[in-house]
Amino acid sequence: MLATIHTNSRNYKIDLSKPLDISIPLKASKSNLNAWYIDEPKIDPVQDGEWIASVSKGASVNFNNIQFNPHAHGTHTECVGHITETVHSVNKSLKQFFFLAELVTVAPELIDDDFVISKKQLQFAFGNKKRDAIIIRTIPNTTEKKSKQYSNTNWPFLQEDAVNFLVKMGIKHLLIDLPSVDKEKDEGALKAHKAFWNVNGKIRKDSTITEFIFVPNKVVDGTYFLNLQIAPFENDASPSKPVLYQLLE
């Protein structure tokens, strides 16, 4: 099924029958992706006395409670409410869902004891393109990312000037395959988050950060249409399902 999308004064064609899902599923397992020092997600049937809401236990339906943290357990999209005292909901912040996006692959470089993504690297990978969103795939890029236990691993992160570059280039939606755009333990500095949302100036309330994506190696760098789908949680973050579509000639 073909669709035409108009943006940046141009028409683009995409094939809706060929989605490239870059989200990571959430499951009730210790092998589920995890960060931030908490237990795995839980999905359990409701119990009322001896009655268990599971078809396998004799009930007529499956009726589960789900306990998880969007920031720790899978692909999620967050708004500025993640770091502000004022309550902001991602469900109210994200009003459009299709964006022209650039996928770039970056090898974080070692500086002192940290692996970082620098402004220079993003300038080289992204150039001066005009895009609504950027998708950053880090290497090495293995399927281990789908189940990695990230707590206490000091994962790679974006330097503040790299984020300032993205903001200057007009990027409103930043997607990355790491638990956070910031250093795991930074004493609450959150330099990348704060720079992206410009918390010390006019806050960019319509901008989002999506973390814990996974882009398979077979998906080549370049320009795509991004469909950024979220669940309608009135919260600073929501589980999300970013989907890419190749542009047709």
pLDDT tens digits, 44-82: 999 999 999 999 999 999 999 999 999 999 999 999 999
Q: What is the pLDDT of residue 80?
A: 98
Chain centroid to Cα 8, Å, comes to 24
CATH number of 2-26+72-248: 3.50.30.50
pLDDT band at 41 (very low <50, low <70, confident <90, very high): very high
Among the listed residues 174, 155, 176, 177, the one whose alpha carbon sits nearest the alpha carbon of residue 166: 174
Assign 3-state DSSP to the chain and report helix, strand, coil percentages, each to 5. 15, 35, 50
Q: Is the distance from CB of 231 to CB of 242 less than 8 angstroms?
A: no
Q: For residue range 116-147, what is the model confidence (pLDDT) as tens digits? A: 999 999 999 999 999 999 999 999 999 999 99
Which sequence spans correspond to the domains of the chain? 2-26+72-248
Provide, rounded to the nearest whole percent, the portion of the chain with pLDDT above 90: 95
Do 103 and 135 form a contact (C-beta atoms < 8 A)? yes
Q: Are 103 and 221 in contact (CB under 8 A)?
A: yes
pLDDT for 106 beyond 80? yes
